[in-house]
A and B are shown apart, each in its own frame.
Chain A
Amino acid sequence: MAKRDRLSGNEAVAIALRQINPDVFPAFPITPSTEIPQYFASFAANGQVDTEFIPVESEHSSMSAAIGASAAGARSLTATSSCGLAYMWEELYIAASNRLPLALALVNRALSGPININCDHSDSMGARDSGWIQMYAENNQEAYDNMVQAYRISEHPDVRLPIMICQDGFITSHAVENIELLEDEEVQKFVGEYNPENYLLNPQCPMAVGPYSVTDYYMEAKRNQAEGMRHVSRVVLDVAKEYKKLSGREYGLFEEYRMDDAERAVVMIGSAAGTTKDAIDRLREQGEKVGLIKIRLYRPFPASEIAEALKNVKAVAIMDRAEGYTNHGGPLGADVMAALYRAHADALAVNYIYGLGGRDVRVKDMENVFAALKQMMADGDAGETYRYLGIRE
Chain B
Amino acid sequence: MSYNFKETMNKPERLAPGHRMCAGCGGTIAVRNVLRGLHEGDRAVIGNATGCLEVSTFTYPYTAWEDSYIHNAFENAGATLSGVEGAYKALKRKGKLDETYKFITFGGDGGTYDIGFQSLSGAMERNHDLVYVCYDNGAYMNTGIQRSSATPMYADTTTTPVGSQSNGKPQNRKDLAAIIAAHDVPYVAQTTFVQNFKDLHVKSEKAIYTPGAAFLNIMAPCPRGWRYNTPDIMEICRLGVETCYWPLFEVEEGKWILNYEPKKKLPIEDFLRPQGRFKHLFKKGNEYLLEAFQKEVDRRWDELLFRCSR
Contacts and interface: CB of A to CB of B under 8 A. Distances in A.
A56 interface: yes
> Considering residues B47, B91, B94, B98, which has the most beta carbons from chain A within 10 angstroms of its beta carbon?
B91
Contacts of B73: 64, 90-91, 94
B119 A60 contact: yes
A64 B101 contact: no
A207 B59 CA distance: 14
B63 interface: yes
Contacts of B303: none
B59 A64 contact: no
Given A72-B45, A211-B60, A217-B61, A91 B82 contact: no
B125 interface: yes
Contacts of A94: 72-73
In order of increasing CB-CB distance, the 4 nearest A-B pairs are A68-B83, A65-B83, A57-B122, A61-B79
Interface stretch (A175-183, A198-206, A361-369): A198-206
B261 interface: no
Contact of A74 (B45, B47, B68, B86): B86
B83 A51 contact: no
Interface string A38-60: 00000000000011101111101
Given A26-B82, A200-B87, A201-B68, 9 more contacts: A23-B87, A52-B86, A57-B122, A64-B76, A68-B72, A68-B81, A71-B70, A211-B63, A217-B60
Contacts of A217: 60-61
B12 to A, nearest CB: 14
A212 B65 CA distance: 14
Contacts of B82: 26, 54, 56, 61, 64-65, 68
A210 interface: yes
A259 interface: no
Interface size class of A (residues with CB under 8 A): 35 or more
Contacts of B97: 201, 203
Contact of A69 (B55, B84, B98, B126): B84
Contact of A203 (B59, B66, B99): B99
B83 A54 contact: yes
A208 B68 contact: yes
A76 interface: yes
A66 B80 CA distance: 8
B210 interface: no
B69 A50 contact: no
Contact of B80 (A57, A67, A74): A67
Given A50-B93, A68-B72, A57 B125 contact: yes
A24 interface: yes
A209 interface: yes
Given A66-B83, A212-B55, A60 B71 contact: no
Interface string A75-96: 0100000000000001100100
Interface string A252-267: 0000000000000000
Nearest to A72: B87
A240 to B, nearest CB: 29
B75 interface: yes
A54 B126 contact: yes
B126 A68 contact: no
B69 A64 contact: no
Nearest to A216: B60
A210 B66 CA distance: 15
B232 interface: no
B58 A210 contact: yes
A64 B90 CA distance: 17
Contacts of A207: 68-69
Contacts of A302: none
Given A52-B90, A91-B72, A72 B79 contact: no
A208 B76 contact: no
B43 interface: yes
A203 B43 CA distance: 8
Given A57-B118, A58-B118, A72-B87, A50 B94 contact: yes
Nearest to B70: A209
A213 interface: yes
Contacts of A201: 45, 68, 84, 87-88, 91, 97, 99, 101
